[in-house]
Each structure stands twice: as structure tokens, then as C-alpha cells.
Amino acid sequence: MNLPGLGLTTPTPIQAQGIPEIMAGRDLMGLAQTGTGKTAAFGLPMVTKLLEIGRRPNPKSCRALVLAPTRELATQIAENIQNFSQGTPIRTFRVVGGASLNAQSERLARGVDILVATPGRLIDLLDRKALTLNEVLYLVLDEADQMLDIGFIHALRQIARLLPFKRQTLLFSATMPKQIEELATSYLKEPARVQVSPPGKAAEKIEQAVHFVNQGDKAKLLADYLARHPDELALVFGRTKHGSDKLMKLLDTWGFKAGAIHGNKSQGQRERTLQAFRSGELKVLVATDVAARGIDIPDVRHVYNYDLPNVPENYVHRIGRTARAGRDGRAVAFCAPAELGELRAIEKLTKVALPVIGGEPPSGAEANAAAKAAKAKQGNRQNRGAAHGQPHRPDEATKRPARRPSRRPRRTKAA
């Protein structure tokens, strides 16, 4: 493995502490934020150990399974591991939703060394008997807290029942809620514990700030910021899919080279948009929290929280998209009066009072009134949807996967 050629010369803390434990064969619980080098921490020793086997995997099997919460993160992990194993017989394959099940099944028929998957698509393939987990030697749960946040706990339990008891398991998480402790108890056996940064701590090289602004003035404010840095990549986070698309189209009409990714985009659309952003063809990417942990583009210099997240931990993951690979970055939060509660929750989590670089903080009375008005507006939208037979769908960051439709054939009335 040509590690210097990949820019891996000095190990990060998670690599320096985690790799020796993994090479020793121990299960591992790693607590670290995104952008700290976790993929190399588990990928390098995993590839090294698989190379010692010296034979091809059996059909419909994999020797190592890496589970990730989003398509973007799964793609990023697979690409990194392919780079680590370049020039070796190790074969890595990625399976995610939005791609052909038949094509994925055909590839798995030959067997793979390392399979990187999202839980939902993995279960689809298991249901089709396109894959067996009987030969898994190494299991990695990456960003485990986000997998729980978006409702994959039942999928993880289902997958756990299909794995061999004798295996090495590595669990990585940015936060440590009670459910993660319970998950670790069921998946790990006497794990080594490595914590390289306190939960909620952002990367040190990120310059953070807040700009207070009315909700209706956010788009013009964003355009002003983008115009100051026309040649630098900027990532903009919105709360909803519809809002992100609307903002992207508005920026496009104003002359900015912008694209958008969210859960309603197909896998092909998301990959093409990310590639255009990575290459610099697009300068602005508007995204929902589906991208908060799945974008690894070192050239992102600016992150704008156009809408503050409902879950404060997501703020840390969002701004972690900049200042990657040792570079500097800047994150600006746009805070409307109704979002003052979200801002205070973020500051409580990060233990950092964000410097104010524009606008005036609303008074408590103004913030309460704005929050009530926003809540009433949201309730009106739900009621209108229900009146038209369209139940309200929660924000993408908090919704649970829809129940899979029954495969039983419908009964038809006799003619």
C-alpha cells in the first residue's frame, strides 16, 4: 500500500490509538467526529488482515461488511478502501439504494472481499438471497449514531442475527447516546474504547460565526456572502428537500453555479451533482442533512447553515464538511428569530458562544413570538395536507424509513 502517495504520512489520533487495537484482534468502540481519519483507522488494518487469507471469497459472500447510514458516506468509504487496496487482489463493492438490484445481485454472485452498504439496501439483497453473511470476519458500523437517528435500529438488529458469532466488530460514533451503549453491548465483545475528541466538539480550524437575520432576508444575505468568495466552494444546508431545491433554483437565476442534493434525488443525480461540485464545475451545493456526514471534499471552504438544524449534533456534522485534510474553513449560521432556541442548543452542545458578525439578536419576547408563528404556520401546512389526503411528511433529517409494502398479491374479485 502506497500510503505516502495517498497523503497518509502522519497518523491522526484515532488512527494512532485504534489501529494497534484492531491489529491485535480486539473489538473497538471509537468516538470521533467526522473528518478525523476513521476510514483509514479501520480500512488499513482490515485490508492488511484480508490479504493474509490468500484466497478468493466464495460466491454470494463477503469477508468484511461496512455499514454506513447514507449513500454518500458509503460511496466515500468504498472509494477510500479501493485506494488503500490498489494493486492488491482485494475487491471492494458498494451497494446502496437508487441503483439496480439486479446488477448488484449479479456482482455479489461472484463474492467480494469488502462490502460497503447502507442497511436498507443490504436487507433488500438478503431478502432476495443474493448474499449470505455467514463468512463475515470483520464488521464495521460507521456513524452508528446517525444510523439510529434515521431509524435503522430494527435493520441493524435484523442484520446482527445473520452474522457469525466469531467475528471482529468495530463501531464508530460521533456521539454516545444511550441507544449506542445498548447497540455496543449487543454487537461488541469486551471492546477497546478510543475517544479522540469530546462529543459535540467541532474541528479546531473551523472559524464559526452567527448572523442574525429575518427568515425572508436569508436568500439575499446568502448571495452577498457567496459573492465575496466567487471562486471558492460553498456548502449550504437547508432543512427540507423542497426548500433546498427552491433555494438552489433561486441562486441559479442570480448567476451562481449551484446544485442540490437530498433524499428525493436519484442515486445517479446525487453522484453527478457531487462530482460537478468536487471538480469545481458547481461552486455552491445546497443540501439537506442527508449530506452532513457523507461529503468529503477537501476544497470546501465555506459552510452556511441557511436553516439551523433541529438536532444540535447535526450542526457539528454539517460544519465538519469544511476544514478537512488539515485545511482551514469557515462556517456561518443564519439565525432567524424563530431559530434562537436551536442556536442556544447548539451553543450548549459545543460549549462555544458563536461570535455575532451581523444583525441584532432578537429579544426573548421576539424569539418566542416568532417561534409560535412558525409553529402555527407548520401546523396549518399539515392541516391543509391532511384535508387533501396528503399527510404531513417530517423533515428528512428526522423521518423514519417508510414501511416496506407487502409482497403478497392483491386479491381480485371474481368476474
Kindly state whether residues 177 and 271 are assigned to the same domain: no
Query: Is 220 part of a structural domain of the chain?
Result: yes
Kindly state whether residues 166 and 217 are assigned to the same domain: no
Q: Sheet holding 206-212: strands in order across? A: 258-261, 284-287, 233-237, 300-305, 329-335, 206-212, 356-358
Query: Is 390 part of a structural domain of the chain?
Result: no
Cβ atoms of 112 and 57 within 8 Å: the answer is: yes
Query: Is 375 part of a structural domain of the chain?
Result: no
Kindly state whether residues 149 and 216 are assigned to the same domain: no
Return the higher-pLDDT residue of 230 and 398: 230
Q: Cα torsion at 324, 329, 334, 335 (round to 10°)? A: 80
Query: Is 386 part of a structural domain of the chain?
Result: no
Alpha carbon distance 239, 209 (integer Å): 19
Structural domain for 299, as ranges: 206-367
pTM of the model: 0.69
Kindly state whether residues 179 and 323 are assigned to the same domain: no
Instruction: Work out the percent of the chain whose per-residue pLDDT is above 70.
Output: 82
Residue 185 confidence (pLDDT) above 90: no
Kindly state whether residues 239 and 92 are assigned to the same domain: no
Kindly state whether residues 184 and 241 are assigned to the same domain: no
pLDDT tens profile 234-244: 999 999 999 99
Query: Is 304 part of a structural domain of the chain?
Result: yes
Among candidates 195, 172, 200, 196, which has minimal Cα distance to 184?
172
Return the higher-pLDDT residue of 72 and 49: 49
Alpha carbon distance 313, 315 (integer Å): 5
Alpha carbon distance 251, 187 (integer Å): 46
Q: Which residue bears the cell 463501531?
A: 171
Last residue of a domain, which of 173, 195, 217?
195
Return the higher-pLDDT residue of 325 and 171: 171
Kindly state whether residues 153 and 238 are assigned to the same domain: no
Q: Is 87 left (phi over 0), alpha (psi -120 to 50) or beta?
A: left
Kindly state whether residues 339 and 243 are assigned to the same domain: yes
Query: Is 383 part of a structural domain of the chain?
Result: no
Kindly state whether residues 220 and 175 are assigned to the same domain: no
Kindly state whether residues 262 and 167 are assigned to the same domain: no
What's 339's domain CATH number? 3.40.50.300
Report the pLDDT averaged over residues 265-293.
85
Last residue of a domain, which of 164, 195, 226?
195
Q: What is the pLDDT of residue 385?
A: 47
Last residue of a domain, which of 168, 195, 222?
195
Within 8 A by CB and 6+ apart from 20, the residues are none
Q: What is the pLDDT of residue 139?
A: 96
Which range among 65-69, 70-74, 305-309 shows the weakest confidence by mean pLDDT?
A: 70-74
Which range among 107-116, 168-177, 347-356 shows the weakest confidence by mean pLDDT?
A: 168-177
Among candidates 85, 97, 99, 94, which has minimal Cα distance to 45?
85
Q: What is the pLDDT of residue 165?
A: 92
Query: Is 385 part of a structural domain of the chain?
Result: no
Report the pLDDT averaged over residues 211-219.
96
Residue 118 confidence (pLDDT) above 90: yes
Query: Is 155 part of a structural domain of the chain?
Result: yes
Kindly state whether residues 219 and 145 are assigned to the same domain: no
Q: What is the pLDDT of residue 397?
A: 37
Query: What's the domain count of the chain?
Result: 2
Kindly state whether residues 186 and 225 are assigned to the same domain: no
